[in-house]
Structure formats: structure tokens, C-alpha cells
Amino acid sequence: MPTDGTGVIQLDPWLEPFAPAIKARYSAYKQARDNIEKWEGSLAKFSEGYKTMGLQVDDNGGVRYREWAPNAVEARLIGDFNQWSHTANPMTKNTFGVWECYVPPASPGVCAIPHDSMVKISMTIPSGAKIDRIPTWITRVTQDLNISPIYDGRFWNPPQDQKYRFKHPRPDVPPEGLKIYEAHVGISSPNMRVTTYKEFETDVLPRIKKLGYNCIQMMAIMEHAYYASFGYQVTNFFAASSRYGTPEELKSLIDRAHELGLTVLLDVVHSHACKNVADGINEFDGTDHLYFHEGGRGRHELWDSRLFNYGHHEVQRFLLSNLRYYMDTYMFDGFRFDGVTSMMYKHHGIGTGFSGGYHEYFGDSVDLEAMVYLMLANAMLHEVYPSVISIAEDVSGMPTLCRPVPEGGVGFDYRLSMAIPDMWIKLLKEVPDDQWEMGNIVHTLTNRRHLEKSVAYAESHDQALVGDKTLAFWLMDKEMYSSFMPLAVRHTSTSKGMSLAIQSTFSCTDEAHCRWMDFPREGNGNSFAHARRQFNLVDDHLLRYKYLWEFDAVMNNLESAYKWLSAPQGYVSLKHEVDKVIVFERAGLLFIFNFHPTQSFTDYRVGVDTPGEYKVILTTDEGRFRGHDRIDVKGRYFTTPMEWNGRKNWLQVYTPSRTALVLGL
């Protein structure tokens, strides 16, 4: 393989005209890595900054505090432990702008700073003004609304008997065929309040396991002052959100997930940061350019947030160590990187459409420093943790995003196929189902870069936020309220929803009510009505939601048995625009979809390559899913050795309107 980063061109010759840009990107990565290894020893050691920065307790109970704040001319550690004295614990500054102080133990082995007590750093800036800040590496912050909406930094150092000890190792290898349950702890129960880590561990994890998922993506874990931001306005990067409980309770949750065989990913936000000053990292040392770019380049005009200076050595230390911290301290198994499109381009994707032309990905609009940071992050993660999973949220289609760094790629394992949820919601909102184009559906579902893996969602949580509706509500509408009793007349919308499910993992989203999502905020009277997961609907046997739940479980567990998600790409043999039928083969199975709103077909001939006697593996029309039981699940289908639709054999099936049928040998 070439050593200049052009290995990716061997997989995609169309990249050849952009070889100079690819070489320059890889060269910048190598230069940044060489610089790190020269001054820090290794990339792995560099990413362990969380072990030396912030508040560190030694074996004797002493506390050493280190903080990067080059603009400050004086600094001191203050808190409950010294009655907020500005003279008791002064700090000294080294030539790199790092301040340091040591708080000796109160007595041998006894820490002078009480566990869970409040701390801050107070600094004097060149103007003579004094500013107080929460330490940037703080691992716990809390809010007391009876006093102030501003968060307080806390020294988290529980006694040995209160520290959580992990009992179960993380998986040795990534799961085959990721089936991701996207979860927000705070809105994961029917309760009209914020749900806790312990409640999620006890009540939700068993449901996820039973449903057949093998991976959880945890959202809104990094602390964020504004709950309604969905966790995307991070204020304290090393602090797990205290809304849901303590750090030890989050560790217990992840350990229990590992015991159940579930992989746990963190939705990590390194694309921007909250602009809060009092309880964030913005203007930490009195300047606007410590962790961020100064001026307009350091601000996101749509998100109203700050943008990192990815090319700075200390910013790289902070962000890379942030990844290591969550992997080592909480035993996460990987990350879904939020806002990667915004990171990779100087225009952040604002007002920009991507046609797929390669010139859009290798020009002056690319933020080379951000690309280098992403390459460093993925290289570090995959070298230190061989089983790690990294997923990029990118809507631009950046080539090489999911190829290894040594080849010249950016190093992610998966990218999100964001066009798929956009397609489903657009079809449901704008196009009558008798006008759906089968070719467009197939193209959207299969349009991905060769040898770059992707994760497909049926719907994005963004689409279910207030102002729009979930797929479930688009399908059912008012029937959700009047026709979900088992004795009510069956409506085709339910069958339609389940037929979509086999390809698109349709179900009521985890994020909230089955209608739409809306976090408590001033505009809705701080209501939790639409910020909760209504498992009570599934558990109520007088309602039909249990049938959708059952289908989700059966579909996921069947995938675990047949592994079609990790199988080689399928072969689509039919996209019939008049009949509204799609047929494809994958993992030795034959999938037959009838999207027609009114027409069922008897003795419908479909092609299949492998001859034999086929049986029903799954049909969305089964009674256990509240279907009409129009297909005999014990039926047998025999192939005829005659070419049909480009396949060597054919067989005939009965395919009812708005159903899906899966056959196998």
C-alpha cells in the first residue's frame, strides 16, 4: 500500500484527479502526529490528558490541580474546602500557560477537599478583573434551581466503598450487523419527569435486549445546561449529566448493558460547544480564543455556539483525552460523532447542497485542521481499542470518510445514511402512496459508497421534534386515538407501517411519545407530556402497540439468526412501478415487498438465483402482528429452473397489498 495516503485511490480510481489534495491531507495528519509523538511520547499517551489535567488525587489524599489558561496573570483554587478563600491555594504558571497547585491531605490518606463539594478556579486577567470559572476538566457539575440556573462544579471523589467496580468486560469484537437502539435516558420512561440512570438500567435495558437490538447509542450524556438542546449544547465535556444521577450510576448502567451482551456508544459532540461562560468553557481565561477560533470563524451562526480550534495542540489534547476518558472511565465501546459535516467544511454545510461531485470534497472549502483532528481521533481509538466503533454523522457524502487512516481515509467505521430518513418522511408528507416510485426508494436505500459501511435509520430524532411528527403519527394520524383497540376494525395504515418496518426498522421512536417530541421549555409551560417514552402503551394489552413491538422484536432477532445486515450486498431483481413491488435477495433470503395501497397479487412470479424449496421466514401479515393472516406461514414455494428478471429461477407467491414477505430455504 502507498505510504502517502493515496491507498484510497486503489479502491476508487475516480479519486485520482484529487490525489494532490488527498496527499496534502495525509501529510498534514502525519505532521500533526509526528509533532505529538516528538513532544508527548506517543499519540496514546497524549490522549491520556485526563490523568494529569484537572483535579487529580494522589495515593496520600493530596490533590494536584492543573489548568491551561495562558491569558490569566494570577490564578487560585477556591471552593467549599477553603471557605472560598482567594489566598489559601494560589497557583503557579509554567511557560506553556498551564497553572498548577497542590492541596496537601488533611491527614495521611484523608483528602482535604470533601467529596462532592463545590470548587472553582479564580483568575486575574491582564485588565485586573477577577473571573471565576468551573474547571474545564471537571467530572461533575450540578444545578440547584432554588439558588441559580447556573451549574456548579463539584469535586467527585467518592470513598472506596462507594466507587463502582466494573464486573463485566466490554465486548472483544464489535457486533456483526449493528442494530442500534438510539436512547435518551431523560425521556426513556412514561414518567412526567426526567428519568434516571438507575431506572434506565432496571426498566429499559431488559426491553432493549428482548427487542433484539445489540447496540445502544446514548444521547445527551455530556453535560448540557439547557435540557431542550437534546444534549447538543455541551457545557462540561468531562461531566456525565447529573440530571439522571451520579457517575457511579452511569457506570453501573453500562456494566449491566455489557452483561446483557449490548454494545454501548456515546453520542459525542466535538463539532461545537455551548457559548455559556459562567458554567461552560467559553471565554475561560478571559479571551474568546482559548479553545475556539476567535471572531466569526469561532462561531456557528445557526447553532449560536462556539467552534473549536482543532489545529491547536492543547485543544487536540482536550478533545482526544475526552474520548479516552469516556472509554476508560465509563467503559463505552465507541462513539457516534455528531455534526461531522459542520466540522469538515469551513461553510459548515450552511446554505450548501452536495451533488456528489468529487470537487466538492477536496477544495478550499474543506477545513483541513478539523479533518486532521478526526483522523487523529480515529487513529488513536482504533490503535488503543481494537474493538472500538466510530460512526460519523455526515450528510455531505465525503469520500474516504470510512476508510482506515493508513490508506488515507478519515478512519470512521460507519457513516449515517441520512438520505433514508429524509426519503421516508418526504414520501409520507408529500406523496400519495399510489405515486411512490419504487426505483427512487431502491436507489435511496442502496446508494452508498463501495466498501464504506453505513448505518441507516428509518427516522431521525430531528424529524420527530416539535413542528413535525414521528413516522408512526404520519402513518396513523388520528387513527392512533380511535382505532388502536384490538376489537376495532383493522386499518391498512398499520399493515403499511409494518411493511415499511422490515426494511426500515419502523417503530415508535425511543425519543418520546409516538406523536412528536417536545422537551419541557418556557414555550410549552415546561411540560413533559411529549418528552417521555410511553412504554405503558406497549404494556397495555387493550391497545395495538404491542403488535408493532412484537414485530420489531421478531425482525431484529431474525436478523441475528440470518445476519443479513452483515451479508454482502443484495441483488434487486424487481422494481415494478405499476405493481409497486420490490424484490431482492440477500443472505440467502428472498424479500418481497408490495407497497400497492389496494392491489394484492395471486401467483405473482418473482426471480431467485438459488433453486430449492422455500418456506416462509417472516410475513408482516401474521396475526401475531395484528395482520390479516392471508399468507399460510406453513406454505412451501418451489422454484422453476427458468430465467426470470435476471435470475436463474422463479417461484410464485401470493403478495397481499401493503405487506412484506421473506422466504428462505
Query: What pLDDT, in 10s, does the model give residues 390-426?
Result: 999 999 999 999 999 999 999 999 999 888 888 888 8
Is the model's pLDDT at 466 over the cut of 70? no
- pTM confidence score: 0.94
Lowest model confidence (mean pLDDT) among 217-221, 320-324, 461-465, 558-562? 461-465
Mean pLDDT of 80-94: 98
Is the model's pLDDT at 500 over the cut of 50? no
The phi and psi torsions of 593 (rounded to 5 degrees) equal: -115, 130
Mean pLDDT of 109-125: 97
pLDDT of residue 516: 72
d(CA 337, CA 412): 9
Q: Are 523 and 465 in contact (CB under 8 A)?
A: no
pLDDT of residue 157: 98
3-state secondary structure labels for all residues of 145-209: CCCEEEEEEEECCCCHHHCCCCCCCCCCCCCCCCCEEEEEHHHCCCCCCCCCHHHHHHHHHHHHH
Is the model's pLDDT at 316 over the cut of 50? yes
d(CA 525, CA 191): 17
Amino acid at 308: F
Lowest model confidence (mean pLDDT) among 348-362, 480-494, 563-577? 480-494
**Of 371, 343, 334, residue with least CA distance to 270:** 343
Task: Tell whether the torsion through CA atoms of 46, 50, 51 and 53 is positive or negative.
Answer: positive
Mean pLDDT of 618-647: 95
pLDDT of residue 541: 87
Q: Are 588 and 664 in contact (CB under 8 A)?
A: yes
Helix, strand, coil content of the chain in percent (nearest 5): 30, 25, 45
Task: Tell whether the torsion through CA atoms of 221, 226, 229 and 230 is positive or negative.
Answer: positive
pLDDT of residue 521: 85
H/E run at residue 37: helix 19-40
Is the model's pLDDT at 598 over the cut of 50? yes
Question: pLDDT-derived band of residue 508, with 50, 70 and 90 as boundaries?
Answer: very low
Question: pLDDT-derived band of residue 205, with 50, 70 and 90 as boundaries?
Answer: very high
Amino acid at 183: A
Question: pLDDT-derived band of residue 353, with 50, 70 and 90 as boundaries?
Answer: confident
Of the residues 393, 413, 452, 585, only one is catalytic, namely 393
pLDDT tens digits, one per residue of 516-547: 778 888 888 888 887 888 888 888 888 888 99
pLDDT of residue 498: 33
pLDDT of residue 491: 47
State the DSSP code for 242.
T
Mean pLDDT of 648-653: 98
Of the residues 152, 255, 333, 338, only one is catalytic, namely 338
d(CA 302, CA 337): 19
Is the model's pLDDT at 211 over the cut of 90? yes
pLDDT of residue 419: 86
Q: Are 320 and 47 in contact (CB under 8 A)?
A: yes
Q: Which residues contact 68 (CB under 8 A, 6 or more apart)?
A: 53, 96, 97, 98, 99, 136, 290, 314, 318
pLDDT of residue 505: 31
Mean pLDDT of 232-253: 97
pLDDT of residue 507: 34
d(CA 124, CA 71): 9
| Percentage, residues of the chain above pLDDT 70 | 94
Is the model's pLDDT at 623 over the cut of 50? yes
pLDDT of residue 483: 62
Is 338 assigned a catalytic role? yes
Residue 101 C-alpha cell reads as: 497547585
Mean pLDDT of 625-640: 95
